[in-house]
């Protein structure tokens, strides 16, 4: 294994075993379903029954990524888990996951927190560890895993979801990542969860403004003095963190406005390079740290080697980063699609009464 050529060598996804259509939630809350489907662009909320959580999702995703990688557990030198579903203020979520996977020994294992940006930070740290040579030829297991729930009746309730994406950072057979990235951060209280609180607090309007500004700043840095159309035409797909699908469309329209484009031009960009990347996100809901990587996993499906895409990561608080990836030789085989197909095939729908029972259980265990 080379110390400099590093990228994504394997991807595994895990979706929860239950889901509820947002139209069912609309009926429960007495809201016009069009608000959730057309206004927010949501379709389904992925839900975890009792006994399933961010650890079981992460373990499922990691097992799938490991099973399709040509290395072994002895080749792993780093386990980094991005999450905002921590179980403990001290013990990292990676300890629960490593325990289940039987990973111990000469391994740096830790949890990364920066709201939904945590998974991307874990990935960047793993890549930089490899690129610098500090990994000494070992591979990294990076996992983004979350269960996103809001308090009952909260405006964020239709955007709930869950899921995990595991990536092995080794040879760039599925995708390479360009070392130069475009970060932006600006401290704000847009979305936060104080220690001891079961559910987040959100300043909805501010959170939308922060997200849109971060998109503008990160893409502004990528484009620089160059022609925006020319720069963006170099990427087949533009992937985004997806708090709810309409947020992404709003941000692309806003970016277009800032670039001096007409709304129609921005909508064309959205339709050509963004909308299809949201397909799996609409079926999972917001999976916080995993959200962007679910979109990237969808975008990489079947891409020819060398095809470039971007990945915009956003975490409340707030921090963001725009990455550039290129498909590797094995992206065309899209082996990870079977994870999503299988999970969607076996998952069971929950109606409004089942949801209330489930949330009662969640409250009892929170
Ligand atoms: N038919 C069609 N559309 C309708 C409608 C109807 N009957 N009723 C309302 N709508 C539309 C509204 O016009 C609005 O669309 P526009 O913004 O385009 O005008 C949309 O539905 C939503 O309506 P509201 O703005 O009234 O919705 P709300 O205030 O009840 O809730 C929210 C919206 C604040 C985003 C809420 O879902 C929320 O708090 N979400 C969590 C926070 C979030 O996701 N923020 C995003 C950025 S932060 C981030 O990215 C981190 C993260 O993952 C959380």
Average pLDDT (342-352) is: 97
Q: What share of the chain is helix, strand, coil (3-state, %, to 5)?
A: 45, 25, 35
Are 278 and 295 spatial neighbours (Cβ–Cβ below 8 Å)?
yes
Ligand 1 centroid distance, CA of 195 (Å): 26
Which residue has the least CA distance to atom 8 on ligand 1? 35
244: CB partners within 8 A, 6+ apart: 40, 41, 42, 158, 159, 285, 286
Distance CA 302, CA 330 (A): 9
Encode pLDDT of 92-110 as tens digits: 999 999 999 999 999 999 9
Quick one: which of 246, 265, 251 has its CA closest to 310? Answer: 251
Encode pLDDT of 133-147 as tens digits: 999 999 999 999 999
Q: Is the CB of 313 under 6 A from ligand 1?
A: no
Which residue has the least CA distance to atom 21 on ligand 1? 39
Q: Which atom of ligand 1 is nearest to the CA of 150?
A: 41
Encode pLDDT of 269-293 as tens digits: 999 999 999 999 999 999 999 999 9
With pLDDT > 70 as the criterion, what percentage of the chain qualifies? 98
Ligand 1 centroid distance, CA of 263 (Å): 20
Q: 0.75 cut: is pTM over it?
A: yes
Quick one: which of 138, 128, 164 has its CA closest to 55? Answer: 164
| Phi, psi for residue 262 in degrees, rounded to 5 | -75, 160
> Coil, strand, or helix at residue 353?
helix
Told to judge if 84 belongs to the known catalytic residues of this protein, a careful annotator would answer yes
Told to judge if 116 belongs to the known catalytic residues of this protein, a careful annotator would answer yes
Confidence at residue 363, expressed as pLDDT on a 0 to 100 scale: 63
Ligand 1 centroid distance, CA of 39 (Å): 7
């Amino acid at each position: 294994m080379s110390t400099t050529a590093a990228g994504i060598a394997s991807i595994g996804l895990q979706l929860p075993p239950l889901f509820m259509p947002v139209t069912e939630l609309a009926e429960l809350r007495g809201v016009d379903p069009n608000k959730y489907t057309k206004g927010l662009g949501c379709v389904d909320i992925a839900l975890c029954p009792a006994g399933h959580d961010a650890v079981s999702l992460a373990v499922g995703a990691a097992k799938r990524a490991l099973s399709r990688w040509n290395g072994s557990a002895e080749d792993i030198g780093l386990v980094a888990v991005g999450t905002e579903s921590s179980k403990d203020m001290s013990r990292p979520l990676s300890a629960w996951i490593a325990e289940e996977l039987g990973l111990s020994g000469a391994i740096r294992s830790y949890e990364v927190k920066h709201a939904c940006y945590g998974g991307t930070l874990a990935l960047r740290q793993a890549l930089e560890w490899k690129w610098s040579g500090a990994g000494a030829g070992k591979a990294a297991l990076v996992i983004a895993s979350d269960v996103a729930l809001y308090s009952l009746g909260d405006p964020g309730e239709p955007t709930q979801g869950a899921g995990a994406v595991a990536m092995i950072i080794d040879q760039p057979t599925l995708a390479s990542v360009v070392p130069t990235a475009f970060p932006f951060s600006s401290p704000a209280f847009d979305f936060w969860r104080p220690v001891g609180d079961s559910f987040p607090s959100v300043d909805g309007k501010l959170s939308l403004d922060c997200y849109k500004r971060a998109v503008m700043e990160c893409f502004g840095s990528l484009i620089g003095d160059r022609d925006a159309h020319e720069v963006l035409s170099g990427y087949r797909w533009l992937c985004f963190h997806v708090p709810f699908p309409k947020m992404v469309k709003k941000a692309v329209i806003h970016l277009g406005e800032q670039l001096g484009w007409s709304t129609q031009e921005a909508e064309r960009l959205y339709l050509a390079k963004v909308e299809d990347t949201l397909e799996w996100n609409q079926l999972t809901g917001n999976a916080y740290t995993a959200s962007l990587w679910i979109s990237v996993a969808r975008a990489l499906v079947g891409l020819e080697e060398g095809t470039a895409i971007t990945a915009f990561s956003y975490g409340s608080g707030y921090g963001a980063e725009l990455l550039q990836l290129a498909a590797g030789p094995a992206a065309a085989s899209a082996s990870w699609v079977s994870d999503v197909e299988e999970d969607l095939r076996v998952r069971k729908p929950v109606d409004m009464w089942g949801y209330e029972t489930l949330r009662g259980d969640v409250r009892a265990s929170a």
